[in-house]
A and B are shown apart, each in its own frame.
Chain A
Amino acid sequence: MPDPASVDHNSYPDSYIREILKNVRSIAMVGASATWNRPSNFVMKYLLKKGFKVIPVNPGAAGQKICGETVFPDLSSLSGTVDMVDIFRPAEDAPELVEEAIKIGAKVFWMQLGIANEEAATEPRRAG
């Protein structure tokens, strides 16, 4: 797998994505929405269909269910770890979420299309 620091974060080759997803089973989705026409809802539905375990995280909807899965208020209240954290939040929130993700032991931090934050992108690379 190429060094994450050296890849172009605007356009990943298929092989890089395949390598990442090979080791991912569980995904915490921050900013998951119950509204069908939001991108997070599309992604969650798709990932569940492909056999991933997806845990929705959204303080506004904590305790409710999205696509049949119970919503958690934040990453730190998850019981146990996840392989990947996928965020559907404004770019400004990314640095804080990265720290939380590292704390719970996630190996991959995925920022959705159109959300970019260079600082937040460098931090997890440093943490490995």
Chain B
Amino acid sequence: MKKLHPEYGFNTLAVHSGTAPDPTTGARSFPIYQTTAYVFDDADHAASLFNLQEPGFIYSRLTNPTVAALEEKLATLEGGRGGTVTSSGHAAETLALFPLMAPGMEVIVADKLYGGTINLMGKSYQKFGWNAVFVDTDNPEAFRKAVTEKTRAIFIENLANPGGVVVDLEAIAKVAEEAGVPLIVDNTMATPFLCQPFEWGADLVVHSTTKFLSGQGNAVGGVVIDSGKFPWLGNSKFPSLSAPSPEYNGLTFAETFGDLAYTMYSHAISLRDLGCTQSPMNAWITLNGIETLPLRMERHCSNGLAVAKFLEKQANVEWVSFAGLESSPYFELGKKYLPEGTGSVFTFGVKGGYESGLKMLEAVKLFSHVANIGDTRSLILHPASTTHRQLTEEQRIAAGAGQEVIRLSIGIECVEDIISDLDQALNCL
């Protein structure tokens, strides 16, 4: 793992970065600034803030102190230059593309993604005139072939939901670089504890912080993190950043803010206008969650691997899709990109297809049947009838969410308790 800080390691940064003691009160845990607006010193101070000539807080749709602390923590842990926290993971995906896209432009998208993202990009973005071009996740050449004059970004998911698919980050980053467009990686399932996509050449990272980062299934949120490395200056493909902005009185973001241009644009224009801001309360919950991310991820990964190994040996289990198993086609890529572990969200197929799958959902006791992942609790779901329901059968199969597929998100309970619950449920089939 790349060194993020000259002095401190990842676990120390997870606890401390962005959240120094409050200078006014000495409060040690970071306060919730449940506040909307911030007093200007005078008219000139107000003007400087609105002109972005001075850092500071104006109004919480754009920036809030608690949300800013979360932005700093997440940007630090990913090794990025700046972050923009959003109301949800979906909002983060849209915000990530907003400075890059325009009507008629294209984003190349991996076909193995969270079902909601396939819908968002494939269907809803058409209303903006943004065209998503889906390609085979497992084939970097397919990405290269899909590049056109209109391509403005490539979007992939690391350890893709639901099947825990490991994508060849380095190969796809190379395609993006040659195409002269940024590579955006949804790193929700891996978290920066397991993999930092910037190390492999990604330009932007998005997360649904709803999952492992906040960690306990109690705060929806998202973030966009910029590596600060993409050359926007003078780049005519990206006029939002490289040309005078009509939406900000002719300010040229790349010229004025350098490697902070993308993050400044995301606050001053994207959040200002789209308004998908995170509440201070959710940011505070997520800040607390991240402090224990390393501990939880270690347990999620070891429990996940033990459960996958158990399932693989069961007579009424057809297959298990988990990159940590040697039988997985993603085992080698997993060793390269996720050496500490391949997460705890994965799928398996039960004998007897759809009917057996539903029976299994009803037979579990410790597992909760919910549409979420990355909780301390172990979760179970049948994607074809829920998260991936709005897709065509062909899209479902491509995404690894066919009729017989069950998705697990393994929690941090005692591993023997998790296994015995699955064991008794399988015996009910």
Spell out A's residues near B (CB within 8 Å).
Answer: 36-37, 39, 41-42, 45-46, 49, 113-114
Contact = CB atoms under 8 A, between A and B. Distances in A.
Nearest to B48: A45
Contacts, number: 31
Given A37-B249, A37-B251, A49-B54, A42 B256 contact: yes
Interface in B227-272: 233-234, 244, 248-252, 255-256, 258
A37 B250 contact: yes
Contact of A36 (B51, B54, B252, B255): B51
A113 B233 contact: yes
B54 A114 contact: no
Given A37-B249, A45-B48, A114 B53 contact: no
Given A113-B233, A114-B234, A39 B256 contact: yes
Contacts of B51: 36-37, 42
Contacts of B255: 39, 113-114
A45 B54 contact: yes
Given A39-B255, A113-B233, A113-B258, A46 B54 contact: yes
Nearest to A39: B256
A53 B189 CA distance: 50
Contacts of B250: 37
Interface of B: 48, 51-54, 233-234, 244, 248-252, 255-256, 258
Given A37-B251, A113-B233, A113-B255, 12 more contacts: A36-B53, A37-B248, A37-B249, A37-B252, A37-B256, A39-B255, A39-B256, A41-B53, A42-B52, A42-B53, A46-B54, A114-B233
Contacts of B256: 37, 39, 42
Nearest to A41: B53
A8 to B, nearest CB: 14
A41 B251 CA distance: 11
Interface of chain A, main secondary structure: helix
A36 B250 CA distance: 10
Contacts of A41: 53
A45 B53 CA distance: 7
18 contacts: A36-B53, A37-B244, A37-B249, A39-B255, A39-B256, A42-B51, A42-B52, A42-B53, A42-B256, A45-B48, A45-B53, A46-B53, A46-B54, A49-B54, A113-B233, A114-B233, A114-B234, A114-B255
Contacts of A114: 233-234, 255
A42 B251 CA distance: 11
In this complex, which of B52, B251, B256 has the most chain A Cβ atoms within 10 angstroms of its Cβ?
A: B256
A122 B248 CA distance: 37
A42 B268 CA distance: 15
B250 to A, nearest CB: 5
Contacts of B251: 37
Contacts of B244: 37
Nearest to A113: B258
A46 B54 CA distance: 7
Contacts of A46: 53-54
Contacts of B252: 37, 39
Contacts of A113: 233, 255, 258
Nearest to A42: B53
Most chain-B CB neighbours within 10 Å: which of A37, A42, A49, A114? A37
A39 B413 CA distance: 54
Contacts of A45: 48, 53-54
A45 B255 CA distance: 16
A47 B341 CA distance: 47
Contacts of B54: 45-46, 49
A69 B394 CA distance: 68
A37 B245 CA distance: 10
Contacts of A49: 54
A37 B50 CA distance: 11
A59 B53 CA distance: 24
A49 B52 CA distance: 14
A57 to B, nearest CB: 20
